[in-house]
A and B are shown apart, each in its own frame.
Chain A
Amino acid sequence: AMAGGLEPHLEALQRELGGHDPAVLSVLLALLVVVVTLLIWRFVQGRRSSRKAVLLLGLCDAGKTLLFARLLTGKYRDTQTSITDSSAVYRVSNDKSTSVTLIDLPGHESLRLQFLERFKAAARAIVFVVDSVAFQREVKDVAEFLYQVLIDSTVLQNAPALVVACNKQDVTMAKSAKLIQQQLEKELNTLRVTRSAAPTSLDGSGTGGPAQLGKKGKDFDFSQLPMKVEFVECSARGSKGEEGDADFEDLKKWLAKIA
């Protein structure tokens, strides 16, 4: 019945087209081809670039840019405070042909949210770099930034895999990943109460997000989040100093897993 319905339509179309000038027809056909190609190209690009990025986030001086350089080149570089993002393609391991785009974002307070806005949609995974040595001092700021990342609606929706890389483990005073996890959980527990109690936004668009982090009744736990969260230890500088390699086997394994 469907074919029967189509045929008279096709015939009508053919008659219509036959009536017109062939030049006009060819022009129309060319336009159609161009439009279709554009659509396909857009679609393919969208597919390809959607969520292939691994973001390196963290406070200032956490070691993101050095980690970025070490992962890509293996060499040590003197770094400055980043003021803009850097991105490059990272081959996960030598035999596999999978690669991800590593994006190093600035950690400065005035820039971090802006760049997060720009790149959060393309994030397949997030590496949150924490300075393990200065953690005791900075725990509130670290928790605040982590809270802002986690509460973001796009991040909650996409649920990219999150790893908290406790950097600077080469220093003796560095805190362990377990301790950092416990402290962050405690701090985030308090934060989600205070943040959601803040006065509502000007246009009334929600308090701290559509939902609170984690479950309401219980204490906050990273397992309550929709995404997978892991804690690894690493050292971008490496225990052998600047000549030697960086110490981040766990991080590399995690990257290989999510790629």
Chain B
Amino acid sequence: ERGGNNSFTHEALTLKYKLDNQFELVFVVGFQKILTLTYVDKLIDDVHKEFRDKYRNEFQQKGTLGLLNGTFDFKDDFMRLLRDAEESSKVRAPTVMKTFEQSLKSQKTVKCMIETRGEKPKEKVKNKKNKSSKKEGTEAVAASSKASAGDKQPSAAGEREELTKDEILQKNREEFFKRHMKAGEKSRSPKPEAQKEKGKKPRVWDLGNSNPKVLDYSNSATNGSAEACPVEEFDPDTALGDRNREPGRLYDLEYESDDEAEEEKVVQNPSKPSAKKGGLGGMFGMLKGLVGSKSLTREDMDPVLEKMKDHLIAKNVAAEIAVQLCESVAKKLEGKVMGTFTTVTSTVKQALQEALVQILQPQRRVDVLRDVMDAQRHRRPYVVTFCGVNGVGKSTNLAKISFWLIENGFSVLIAACDTFRAGAVEQLRTHTRRLNALHPPENHGGRTMVQLYEKGYGKDAAGIAMEAISYARNQGFDVVLVDTAGRMQDNAPLMTALAKLIAVNAPDLVLFVGEALVGNEAVDQLVKFNKALADHSMAQTPRLIDGIVLTKFDTIDDKVGAAISMTYITSKPIVFVGTGQTYCDLRSLNAKAVVAALMKA
């Protein structure tokens, strides 16, 4: 389901791959990460095309047996293609440098490049030429210029780029003469300018006077005297607004669903003409699809994928994940030949559904009971740590899970490592009391099934956890459930503290508790939690999040996208789902039901 990205890095190697969905081929190129080879993409495309064309018959006719029996002697072709690709990237004729004669610089004379003081610097030869020619056109001055004006005009009018040396020389000579003639005037004009610029004069505003009295518009009578205010017409109705409201009550935001409906209509209208235009094309496409052997192109899939992406985002899947999912589905389907009687929409929906189910079905199922039994055999407690941001339901779900474990006959020690939040320890104590009331020791052979290990507030959480685990080992408890304080993923010191707790105590299972209401935040939370755990761990293979507990599932109807976001980011399964506040509201995830709810329109 991560097929959108077509390259993969592992240690020192980078792999780039290309899928051929028509014949179900995968082409992989591996090269060292440090080399940046520009011809890799081209090479892969060429290899793909050649291989496919060469062995097209075998794929189409002989099927699997052909694949098994056939010899695919492609080595020579591949070496040839590789050589071609390498050469094409290496050899490019070194650009021949222009000779000095060809460059523009040689066209300029020495004179025009000298800057003499007192004059405006000469910028471009071109502009100078135009300016000077214009000047000459307007001023029919200078005896020598008349003859040269005739020469100048054609050259100026054409706006030629190239100037011959002679023309430039002449032009400059004329300017020199002009300057000499105007020298007197010019020398005079800079002087008054200089005088003008000498002293900075204060800016004079139009309306402003230097007289503050004139600027004072206030009425001397009004300030300070209450009676001078003209009596306004005070209308209590308009000021108060709604007469019917109760005094002092704070009303909720009014939910306006009408605007959304209007927006939908507006959006639909522009899409309708395109649908009509696509109607005819769609008909032919459908007929072609009926006949069979229509291969999917990106353009066919794009509108459908856009709609599916918006649908997923509307169902509370994080935006970036929806985009990546659609990309991967597109890559998987590109070039695939559709069967008979199938439309593009149905194929894409089917593929998306399969991808979603695959995401939700875990790589390795986390079977807590099985692992607890194992730990029991080795006479050590099974340690589970709960982490997450504030207010997601860690303590509530910890109580639910301990109830479930007790029902299955395991004794539980709850470690209150939330030493920050007011009432955290008391909450767990209440839960312990209730659970012991539900499962009294008499029913279980005289041993207390649940006990609370707490050291009050303000202490170090990692230390309490370590003490709790050794206490459980001594007393023979089967499971230790460690409750930690909620923390925001951006809070670096708290994340360090959590990472330290997990690194030091090495729990068997690290569960991230996330609520189903979260949207795009889920991505950020999980990424930062995992990163913190990886950064602060001393071991070679750091302990990361092993599983997810999805809470408050009863508050969302079918906007179940958070499940997808969380499992996609971590690739770890959702171990438990919390659906309420009582002890029995603990469920396991049913991938098919969740995907069905997601795909439902």
Chain A interface residues toward B at CB < 8 A: 69, 72-73, 75, 77, 83-84, 86-88, 109-111, 113-114, 140-141, 144, 190-191, 193-195, 197-203, 205
Contacts and interface: CB of A to CB of B under 8 A. Distances in A.
Contact of B590 (A73, A77, A88, A201): A201
Contacts of A140: 370
Contacts of B365: 144
B576 interface: yes
B593 A73 contact: no
Contacts of B594: 202
Contact of B588 (A72, A83, A200): A200
Contact of B367 (A75, A111, A113, A194): A194
A201 B369 contact: no
Given A88-B64, A202-B589, 12 more contacts: A72-B64, A73-B69, A77-B68, A114-B358, A144-B365, A193-B369, A195-B367, A197-B407, A198-B588, A199-B576, A203-B593, A205-B593
B566 interface: no
B103 interface: no
B36 interface: no
B63 interface: yes
A192 B474 CA distance: 31
A205 to B, nearest CB: 7
Contacts of A197: 369, 407-408
B361 A113 contact: yes
Contacts of B41: none
Nearest to A193: B369
Nearest to A89: B65
B428 interface: no
B586 A199 contact: yes
B373 A194 contact: yes
Interface size class of B (residues with CB under 8 A): 20 to 34
Interface in B326-379: 354, 357-358, 361-365, 367, 369-370, 373
Contact of B361 (A88, A110, A195): A110
Contacts, number: 76
A198 B64 contact: no
Contacts of A83: 26
Given A110-B358, A197-B408, A202-B577, A86 B590 contact: no
Interface in B133-178: none
B33 interface: no
Nearest to B67: A86
A207 to B, nearest CB: 9
B31 interface: no
B227 interface: no
Contact of A109 (B364, B586, B589): B364
A192 B24 CA distance: 38
Given A114-B354, A200-B587, A202-B588, A73 B370 contact: no
B337 to A, nearest CB: 15
14 contacts: A72-B68, A83-B26, A86-B67, A88-B63, A111-B358, A113-B361, A191-B370, A194-B370, A198-B588, A199-B587, A200-B588, A202-B577, A202-B594, A203-B590
Interface in B437-461: none
Contacts of B404: 199
A109 B363 contact: yes
A202 B590 CA distance: 6
Closest 10 A/B residue pairs (Cβ): A194-B369, A201-B590, A88-B64, A202-B590, A199-B588, A199-B586, A109-B363, A194-B370, A203-B593, A73-B68
Interface in B395-411: 404, 407-408
A166 to B, nearest CB: 23
A140 B377 CA distance: 15
A219 to B, nearest CB: 16
B370 A84 contact: no
Interface in B414-472: none
Contacts of B408: 197
B453 to A, nearest CB: 25
Contact of A201 (B354, B373, B588): B588
A197 B594 CA distance: 21
A201 B594 CA distance: 11
Interface in B102-129: none
Contacts of B593: 201-203, 205
Best-surrounded residue of B68, B365, B594 (most CB of chain A within 10 A): B68
Given A198-B588, A201-B593, A114 B373 contact: no
A86 to B, nearest CB: 5
A202 B589 CA distance: 6
Contacts of B63: 88
Contacts of A202: 553, 577, 579, 587-590, 593-594
Contacts of A69: 68
A224 B205 CA distance: 105
Contacts of B65: 72-73, 88
B577 A84 contact: no
A198 B156 CA distance: 93
Contacts of A113: 361
A198 B590 CA distance: 12
Nearest to A113: B361
Contacts of A111: 358
A133 to B, nearest CB: 21
